[in-house]
Chains A and B, each alone.
Chain A
Amino acid sequence: MITAWLMAGLLFTPLAWAVLCLLLDFSRGRLVSCLGITVQVLVSLGLWVAVAREGGFLYGLGGWEAPLGIELRVDGLAVTFILLTAIVAGACGLHASVYLAPDNAWYRYFWPLFWFLWAGLNGVWLGGDLFNLYVGLELLSLSAVGLVALGGGINALRASLRYLLAALLGSMAYLLGVALMYGQFGTLSIAGIASLLPETQALVGPGMAMALMLSGLALKTALFPLHGWLPPAHGIAKSPVSALLSALVVKASFYIAARLWLEFGHELGSTAVAQLIGGLGGAAVIWGSWLACRQSQLKQVVAYSSVAQIGYLFLLFPLTFAVSDTASLQAQQGMTLQVVSHALAKAAMFLAAGNLILATGSHQVAGLAGVSHFLPFSLFSFGLAGVSLMGMPPSGGFAAKWMLLQASLASGQWWWIVVLVAGSLLSAAYVFRIYQASFVAKTGVDDFYHPPGSLEVIPLLLALMSLGLALVAEPLLSVMALSLETGGAP
């Protein structure tokens, strides 16, 4: 019973805090939010322990059963992402509370948007039916767009409008797919549709619905070649916001796509579709990394690196379709490790990049000259996060890529190994390019602004977590593997 309260709390705390913060100014909102972050982290930890002990379960919110009520479901994967969200969003919130200047009147809206974003994320991780996932996704997108536009000038508004239009088109395509699914099966629950699918004869309608939903979600996840909106939006937002967007928001739409594929893919997918999506992912890895090497602005480098790292996630589609169970399991584990390690590393990288920009006062990569001598600490967090993105042992990125590599070998799809190796080499190139720029000797004295210690510590902690992920991968993966069936009574 206590677990049911924890689950409801995960949704209601952020919503309540959002409304509360709407009434307060930035400084008071900061105090209230720090309390809220503590509550959320503790509740997430509690739910994680509960699921690790008893397995996943279903819970009808307020005692209302589906289809009219909202049914929440939690399994090992969902609870892992909830804990990840609590850690990363908490870190970004604490960073933002120091990073954003309270004298800008617009920033009082940061906290309400931040909490709505968190509510949307938890809604997506916990949602059990297609329509609630849509609502969670919309809450997420609208608050993310608001955060990008927050207190910005023309360029920020243009980036956020472009982001909003892409997000709206993506959700409408998804919703149209949901409508077709409901018309065919008369249910919205993912598990219900999955159980009806094997007996269905006419697969044209559901196939079209699946195609609509997947393309809408691919647009929202910024899969190549639909990634055009991501770099401007993530590059121009304030650094803690960029960290939230890159680390968590794009993962939410990917999580839905992955769940749809794993549940319906056997009936509705085909080898051609799986290879096509994987191929787009592979192209994203190469093209995103290549463009990251060529950007002149520091945050654009990190944003294009996100496009590339998202590409790895889509290798899940070919590696789980029509392959042996072992290969499929390895691919799924590789995907979850990639989500977790990229979230930690990319949040660390964006926060560290924000510190570097604060210190040098310049957005350019070339402006980093002399940083290695006077600000080794900020650069160190950036580099540690880079190690995980490159996939060097013992980082989480290494464990993820190793799993994907094994899955490619086990399923005989050797061509994905080329993508994995090329992507790692290219990401090494763009991380070292930042290093090269910062090791250029600069004559003269230390004229850099030194960010306060609390700003420096947060990205360092995140980067260390991402780096050490491979060491605790075994227990993490064992909890992730807990499904609903193994669980106790609902």
Chain B
Amino acid sequence: MTPSLLYAFAGAGLCGIGMFGFIQLRHLLRKLLAFNLIGSGTFLVLVGLAQHGQGPDAVPQALVLTGIVVSIAATALAIVLIRRYFHLSGHTSLEADDSDSGQGGAE
């Protein structure tokens, strides 16, 4: 097992942990952290797998850079939405009040 392959396996492990948390956790911020964990795992897989034994490959590094920008944008949007949702409803999870009208009429 080469070190780069070790990175790839660690990335796959992180993805698994993140996926578990994403589905299992109810608190929205924890869900978001789990999403970021999946993201980091994916980036590790992307960089680790692509070594092919002939030294570092520039393309996956560029891809990961773009991927990080995308995931920061997604995280920022999610935080804004979660914050506003918390201010309006006082809940930190989506399931807390499924009992009310659910998708009731708009404002």
- A-to-B contact residues, CB < 8 Å: 67-68, 131, 134-135, 138, 142, 145-146, 149, 152-162, 164-165, 168-169, 172, 175-176, 178-180, 182-183, 186, 188, 231-232, 235-236, 238, 297, 300, 363
Q: How far is the CB of A182 from chain B (nearest CB, A)?
A: 6
Interface pair B85/A180, CB less than 8 Å apart: no
Q: A131-B63, A145-B81 are in contact. Are A152 and B49 (CB under 8 A)?
A: no
Provide the residues of chain A in CB contact with B73, threshold 8 Å: 138, 142
Whose C-beta in chain A lies nearest to the C-beta of B105? A363
Interface pair A164/B78, CB less than 8 Å apart: yes
Q: A182-B49, A183-B8 are in contact. Are A135 and B82 (CB under 8 A)?
A: no
Q: How far is the CB of A213 from chain B (nearest CB, A)?
A: 12
Provide the residues of chain A in CB contact with B45, threshold 8 Å: 176, 179-180, 183
Whose C-beta in chain A lies nearest to the C-beta of B107? A153
Interface pair B8/A161, CB less than 8 Å apart: no
Counting from the closest, the 4 A-B pairs by CB-CB distance are A183-B49, A179-B46, A157-B85, A363-B105
Q: How far is the CB of B51 from chain A (nearest CB, A)?
A: 9
Provide the residues of chain B in CB contact with A164, threshold 8 Å: 74, 77-78, 81
Within 8 A of A (CB), among B41-90: 41-42, 45-46, 49-50, 52, 57-60, 62-63, 66-67, 70, 73-74, 77-78, 81-82, 84-85, 88-89
Contact of B77 among A146, A231, A297 (CB under 8 A): A146
Contact of B42 among A146, A161, A176 (CB under 8 A): A176
- B-to-A contact residues, CB < 8 Å: 8, 15, 22, 28, 31, 35, 38-39, 41-42, 45-46, 49-50, 52, 57-60, 62-63, 66-67, 70, 73-74, 77-78, 81-82, 84-85, 88-89, 94, 101-107
Interface pair A179/B42, CB less than 8 Å apart: yes
Provide the residues of chain B in CB contact with A68, threshold 8 Å: 58-59, 62
Q: A131-B63, A155-B104, A175-B67 are in contact. Are A183 and B82 (CB under 8 A)?
A: no
Interface pair B81/A161, CB less than 8 Å apart: yes
Q: How far is the CB of B34 from chain A (nearest CB, A)?
A: 10
Interface pair B78/A138, CB less than 8 Å apart: no
A159 to B60, CA, bound (A): 34
Interface pair B103/A159, CB less than 8 Å apart: yes
Interface pair B28/A180, CB less than 8 Å apart: no
Provide the residues of chain B in CB contact with A176, threshold 8 Å: 15, 38, 41-42, 45
Q: How far is the CB of A220 from chain B (nearest CB, A)?
A: 13
Q: A68-B62, A159-B103 are in contact. Are A182 and B50 (CB under 8 A)?
A: yes
